[in-house]
Amino acid sequence: MAPSRVRKEVDAALHAFVDRQRPMLSTLGDDLVPMVTALDALLAGGKRLRPAFCYWGWRGSGGGDCPEIFAAAASLELLQASALIHDDVMDGSDTRRGQPSAHRRFEALHAASGWRGSAEAFGAGAAILLGDVCLTWSDEMFQGSGLPEDALRRGRPVFDVMRTEVMCGQYLDLVGQARGCGVDPRAMVEAALQVVRFKAAKYTIERPLQLGAALAGSGEMAALSAYGMPLGIAFQLRDDVLGVFGDPAETGKPAGDDLREGKRTVLIALTLERSAPAQAETVERLLGDPGLDADGVERLRAIIVETGALDACERMIDRYADEASGALTSAPLTAEARAALSDLTIAATARRV
């Protein structure tokens, strides 16, 4: 099945689910319209990576091509919507997928309506609730996907552990950012990689793939890990590079936004590891400055390149992507799934700058 058809089926399942919720929201009150509008806008974007890996985990383990697996897989997109909405509140991000973030939308609604109190507090509160709704709907959609109950029972432990992992990984990330860099830059790279493992690699690729396989009755979790984990790391490192050097049209975020937010990525850890004292001082001063301008972004980019951190990061991406491709060759999957996953591996990690 072509990637575009997987995406289309996932989208259809997602919209069908949200459409089924609309009447209930209408009975609760017209004031709920902005909630669904904000969700619709968010769901209009996104690459549907997690559903795709879930789908191919299922197909690759002998599962048939049926509407039910698309519903189960698409439920991961609602989990992701919840994580993004809450992330944006925590980071104070203005944009997501090239549009205003959910809390900024609600803030604008408050301002436009001339309501009382703080528009910012209203925006954050409403976005927290919308994220909660998405989190709830994710498991409602999974459990109501129509897959046989024994399939759901097999998939549940993966579904559950995945959710706890991503939230805890996010908390560990918050702690890491608050703690800042220790005296040992080597430990910083390892700490950043640890966050990547839990927050990104497991969540984006390993667990969705294992979920699909578990739903289909496969017990080959370790073999799927051997492919999913390195691919997930490579994917996140690519995302980190794009966050600094990428085209805003592709990332959906203004240039340098990750630098402005002060994200302690592996790329930044590699930079600090390789920095001379003066460079390190500049990085520490500019990184996370909300008012960072184009000049500041350029200075940081220059240091990331000059220290060799960008090259080091690209080599890591290549190494992890190669490891993933190697593991895929011997993974216990159907040939069709292996071919599709090979395409996804390239799409998720290839250079785009």
Q: Which of helix, strand or coil describes residue 55?
A: helix
Among 17, 122, 203, 320, binds a second copy (CB under 8 A): 122
Binding to a second copy by CB under 8 A, coded x per residue (else -) over 17-36, reads ----x--xx--xx-xx--x-
For position 161 contacting a second copy by CB under 8 A, the verdict is yes
Which amino acid is located at 330 in the chain?
S
Binding to a second copy by CB under 8 A, coded x per residue (else -) over 88-107, reads -xx-x---------------
Cα dihedral across residues 87, 231, 8, 334: positive or negative? negative
Tokens coding 189: 């790279």
Q: What is the DSSP secondary structure assignment for residue 30, as one 8-state letter? A: G
Closer residue to a second copy, CB minimum distance, 214 or 340: 214
For position 131 contacting a second copy by CB under 8 A, the verdict is yes
Which amino acid is located at 176 in the chain?
G
Q: CB of residue 284 vs a second copy: minimum separation in angstroms?
A: 10
Using CB under 8 A as the binding rule, the residues of this chain from 269 to 298 that contact a second copy are 288
CB of 265 closer than 8 Å to CB of 240: yes
Q: CB of residue 213 vs a second copy: minimum separation in angstroms?
A: 20
Rg over alpha carbons for the chain, rounded to the nearest Å, is: 21
Closest CA to 244 of 233, 235, 234, 254: 254
Cα dihedral across residues 250, 254, 255, 260: positive or negative? negative
Among 135, 188, 214, 266, binds a second copy (CB under 8 A): 135
Among 50, 105, 163, 238, binds a second copy (CB under 8 A): 163
Among 169, 208, 243, 296, binds a second copy (CB under 8 A): 169
End-to-end Cα distance, the chain: 29
For position 51 contacting a second copy by CB under 8 A, the verdict is no
317/312 Cα distance (integer angstroms): 9
Cβ count near 31 (within 10 Å)? 8
Q: CB of residue 308 vs a second copy: minimum separation in angstroms?
A: 27
Closest CA to 1 of 72, 60, 73: 60
Closer residue to a second copy, CB minimum distance, 41 or 242: 41
CB of 217 closer than 8 Å to CB of 151: yes
Closer residue to a second copy, CB minimum distance, 109 or 242: 109
Cβ count near 337 (within 10 Å)? 24
For position 208 contacting a second copy by CB under 8 A, the verdict is no
Q: CB of residue 19 vs a second copy: minimum separation in angstroms?
A: 14
Closest CA to 148 of 51, 60, 64, 219: 64
Q: CB of residue 254 vs a second copy: minimum separation in angstroms?
A: 21
For position 137 contacting a second copy by CB under 8 A, the verdict is yes
For position 128 contacting a second copy by CB under 8 A, the verdict is yes
CB of 261 closer than 8 Å to CB of 251: no
Which residues contact a second copy (rule: CB under 8 A)?
21, 24-25, 28-29, 31-32, 35, 82, 86, 89-90, 92, 110, 113, 115-117, 121-122, 124-126, 128-133, 135-137, 139-140, 143-144, 149, 153, 156, 160-161, 163-165, 167-172, 174-175, 177-180, 194, 198, 288
